[in-house]
A = this chain, B = another copy of it.
Amino acid sequence: MKTYLDCIPCFFRQALETARLAGAGPLIQRKVLMDLAAVLPDFSMKASPPEMARIVRNLVYKYTGRKDAYAALKRKSNELALRVYPRLKDRLKNSEDPLRTAVELAVAGNIIDYGAKNNIDVEAELTRILDNEESSIAVESRDLFDYKGFRECLARACKIVYLADNAGETVFDRALIEQIMEFDHLKEIVYVVKSQPAINDALYEDALTSGIDSIATIVDSGSDAPGTVLSLCSREFKQLFKTADMVISKGQGNFEALSGKAKREVFFLFMVKCPVIARDVGGQIGNIVLYRKAGKK
């Protein structure tokens, strides 16, 4: 996805948030915003929004010396997710279609991120989602939730690349991966994190804390943007991405970075969090999406 003009106000909002989380005072916060204003004209609108997030992170680092402004927030997210994990497993045990439920909950886990930015009581919201055994929480639309396609591809795939999104959500990913292994324990799953701090995106240690190492190989993509920006990725990752039987991409950031660039089929799992993405996929904010993007021939 390219950058839309509507993303620009958000860049400033994010820069301010990052600077504050890094402990910058008002003067430094202002400097970061003014530097962002200065580099904006040179930022190509063909680049994806996560590429700007990377520039913002580097600006904040320049002034504060802190590269991982979200460290505390990530730790909190991991703890919260681990706390609800047993309830998550219960919910799956009682589901008629545990794989589908695991997919939906893996996306719903994204509320940790969204909630943190919107002052929602995340634990209460997660409990509400986990206690709701009534029906599917995803949109009933083949275009926005192609579970059939996902299941068919999964049945055939041996090697699966799973692109992580945020810390905390990683615990929900673990539950989904466990479900996939239950579906077929011979799958080989490679779980991909970012190579350096990028907003609250999961790093190697977050995957480890979440217990992913017991069911998947953890690697990093080489991308230090909060999205899998292929041009920033390592040669090894790009090879892996190209040759895997199936790619599951979590989160809006990975969707932004990959949706216009990837030549292969990708299953994008994310919660729609802004009007630009809502328009792009034809959904609404808050939608739980499983979006299959066909590969280019």
Contacts and interface: CB of A to CB of B under 8 A. Distances in A.
Interface of A: 5-6, 8-10, 12-13, 16, 26, 29-30, 33-34, 37-38, 40-41, 45
Interface of A is mostly: helix
Contacts of A40: 33-34, 37
A37 B41 contact: yes
Contacts of A34: 40-41
10 contacts: A5-B16, A5-B30, A6-B16, A8-B12, A9-B9, A9-B12, A12-B12, A34-B41, A37-B37, A38-B41
Contacts of A16: 5-6, 8-9
A33 B36 CA distance: 13
Contact of A13 (B9, B26, B29, B30): B9
A75 to B, nearest CB: 25
Contacts of A12: 8-9, 12
A116 B294 CA distance: 37
**Pairs of residues from A and B, 5 with the lowest C-beta to C-beta distance, nearest first:** A37-B37, A9-B13, A9-B12, A9-B9, A37-B40
Contacts of A41: 34, 37-38
Given A5-B33, A9-B16, 10 more contacts: A5-B29, A5-B30, A8-B12, A9-B9, A9-B10, A12-B12, A30-B45, A33-B40, A34-B40, A37-B40
Contacts of A6: 16
